[in-house]
Amino acid sequence: MFGWLRSLFGAGPAPADERVERPAAPVAKAPAAMAPETTMATTAEASGDDGGRDDGARYVIVGAGPAGVIAAETLRAADPDGDVLIVHGEDGPPYSRMAIPYYLTGMIDEAGTTLRKAADHYDDLGIRIRHGRVERVLADDGRLALAGGGSVTFERLLVATGATPIRPQIEGLDLPGVHPCWTLEDARDIVRLAEPGSRVVLLGAGFIGCIILEALVKRGVELTVVEMGDRMVPRMLDATAGGMLKRWCEGKGIKVLTSTSITRIEPATDAAAEGGGLAVELSGGETVPAHLVVVAAGVRANMAMLDGAGIDTDQGVLVDHHLRSSHPRVYAAGDVAQGPDFSTGGFSVHAVQPTAVDHGRIAALNMAGGDAPYKGSLVMNVLDTLGLVSCSFGRWQGADGGEQAERIDQDAYKYINLRFEDDKLVGAITLGRTDWVGVVRGLIQTEVALGPWKDKLIADPHRVMEAYLARVGTA
């Protein structure tokens, strides 16, 4: 096992059958077979806050999202003798925020949201999980101060605390019936309030907003989406794609208000209460009744615990090409990290699952003493909005002076736009296409010179798979 890590440290290539990164999860055959209680109970430290107890490990990871869990698994493999401790700020086993929308729709139960399905996965690997909130990082001391008074010592720390939702400055945001949708706890509340037929206002048609949007519609609510930007998902889709997505949503009975903000939320007057308990006042002056307001106005890196730690931060924790922060013992990964950006050569927060996974793995290799420089994250997103699938990759806004290839079919909701720099692909947006779409990542990240295939892609941008096979693969 983990032969590929050996090779990383100079022991030569490993045979293919040793390149196993993670053992197969002994998969339960149906979600129904895994009652939440069962899963929760079988994880050793599954419940309660371990508050005041002092603790420590060679490797301590704060945060139990994908970056933290992958890092723990990678550390366990890279340094079998080093103990690994995850400090998990929420109840229950590590779970995936990505899965929350599917929990909201009822496709999966809570157990289905867990990052690892095998009940004894962490125990088997010897990864400890401790529940508790970190108040401060005392980097020079190699110590974390926990809420409730306990502390955790570390030799190497990974900050993988993810992000927290931005709370816009809107009057009435603390009223009952106004919820962010970020944690499983939030999701439980929304499930309770978003009854079929109820009126829901969703603030924010960004990536997360759109994921929740789908879940809300599937719950049968009457939905109004309010987005400040001039289009849907402005940070992922260009004007063409964002506009098409808006039309698509409107065609599905959703009211989509772009270039609009919420100015105030008030408890509804008696007369308006039939429409819901809340009155949502919009920038245009209109007031929309609502039973529930879901706030998805973006997220920001969750790094309050680093205040005063002397660690450089910007939009996130600034990390170098080894994902190490300005403090030699402290690393950061995932949504909290502002790491190398593949496309720009600078440092960016890319709060997406594939980046979290890369970060967790690379950071862990370096924490364990390896030398694994990171080439940088490629921002990419995939979104399924009521059946219309959109993807974006890399520099979809285009490169200076770079050419592009485009096909638009407004009626059929099909769109593809490729962006080139010289004869390399650097970014792309697709709408209404799901087949072989990952190869766009391959074309961008291998930085393959397209040669004659650049013109072929300009003639037919859908031939990305053929371009890859011709320039990279076996063709």
Partner 1 sequence: MAWARKVLRVDLNAGTCTDEALNMDWARRYLGQRGLATKYLVEETDPRVDPLAPENKMIMATGPLTGTCASTAGRYSVITKGALTGAIACSNSGGFFGNEMKNAGYDMIIFEGKSPKPVYLLVRNGDARLVDAGELWGASCWDTEERIKAAHQDPLIRVASIGVAGERGVKYAAIVNDMHRAAGRSGVGAVMGSKNLKAVAIRGTLGVKVDDFAAFMAATAAGKKVLADNAVTGQGLPTYGTQVLMNVVNETGALPTRNHQGVQFEGAHAISGEAMHEKRASDGKSNLITNNACFACTIACGRISAIERTHYTVVDRPQYQKASGGLEYEAAWALGAATGVSDLDACTFANFICNEQGFDPISFGATVGAAMELFEIGAITTKETGGIELKFGNVHALTELAELTGRGEGFGAEIGLGSKRLCEKYGHPELSMQVKGQEFPAYDSRGIQGMGLAYATSNRGACHLRGYTVASEILGVPEKTDPLATEGKGGLVKAFQDATAAVDSAGICVFTTFAWTLDDIAPQIDAACEGEWTPETLLEVGERVWNLERRYNLGAGFTDKDDTLPKRLLKEAAKTGPAKGLVNGLDKMLPEYYQLRGWTTEGIPTNETLQRLAL
Partner 2 sequence: MQKSLHIDPGKCTNCLQCELACSYDNEGVFNPAKSRIKVFTFHDEGRFVPYTCTQCAEAWCMQACPVDAISLDAATGAKVVSEWLCVGCKVCTIACPFGTVNYNADSGKVIKCDLCGGDPECAKACPTEAITYIDANWTGLDRMRQWAARTDAGSGAGASASA
Sign, Cα dihedral of 73, 43, 124, 113: negative
Comparing CA positions, the residue from 257, 259, 256 lying closest to residue 248 is 256
Q: What is the DSSP string of 124-139?
A: HHTEEEEE--EEEEET
For residues 414 to 443, the per-residue mask of contacts with partner 1, x marking binding by CB under 8 A and - elsewhere, is x-x---------------xx----------
Amino acid letter, residue 169: Q
Residues 14-53 that bind partner 2 (CB under 8 A): 14, 16-17, 19-25, 27-31
Q: Which does 272 bind (CB under 5 to 8 A by kind): partner 2, partner 1, none?
A: none
Cβ atoms of 317 and 336 within 8 Å: the answer is yes
Q: Does 252 bind partner 2 (CB under 8 A)?
A: no
Q: In the complex, what is the shortest distance from the CB of residue 357 to partner 2, in angstroms, rounded to a whole number?
A: 5
Q: Give CA 457 to chain center in angstroms.
A: 30
Q: Which does 247 bind (CB under 5 to 8 A by kind): partner 1, partner 2, none?
A: none
Q: Does 441 bind partner 2 (CB under 8 A)?
A: yes
Q: In the complex, what is the shortest distance from the CB of residue 475 to partner 1, in angstroms, rounded to a whole number?
A: 13
The tokens for 337 are: 């990290």
Cβ atoms of 225 and 261 within 8 Å: the answer is no
Measured CA to CA in angstroms, residue 406 lies from 46, 420, 431 at distances of 50, 11, 11
Q: In the complex, what is the shortest distance from the CB of residue 409 to partner 1, in angstroms, rounded to a whole number?
A: 6
330 CB contacts (<8 Å, ≥6 apart)?
137, 139, 156, 157, 158, 159, 309, 311, 324
> What secondary structure, in 3-state letters, does 347-362 show?
EECCCCHHHHHHHHHH
Q: Does 473 bind partner 2 (CB under 8 A)?
A: yes
Residues 258-297 that bind partner 2 (CB under 8 A): none
Binds partner 1 by CB under 8 A, chosen from 409, 422, 447, 455: 409
Binds partner 2 by CB under 8 A, chosen from 39, 43, 114, 260: 114
Q: Burial level of 92, CB count in 10 A (0-12/13-18/19+)?
A: buried
Q: Which does 191 bind (CB under 5 to 8 A by kind): partner 1, partner 2, none?
A: none
Give the nearer residue to partner 1 in terms of CB position, either 89 or 432: 432
Binds partner 1 by CB under 8 A, chosen from 25, 32, 412, 475: 412
Q: In the complex, what is the shortest distance from the CB of residue 432 to partner 1, in angstroms, rounded to a whole number?
A: 8
What's the alpha-carbon Rg for the chain, to the nearest Å?
Answer: 23
Q: Does 431 bind partner 2 (CB under 8 A)?
A: no
Residues 346-405 that bind partner 2 (CB under 8 A): 353-354, 357-358, 361-362, 365, 371-378, 380-382, 384, 387, 389, 391, 393
Q: What is the largest CA-CA distance in the chain?
A: 75
Q: Which does 271 bind (CB under 5 to 8 A by kind): partner 1, partner 2, none?
A: none
Binding interface with partner 1 (CB under 8 A): 407, 409, 412, 414, 416, 432-433, 460, 462-463
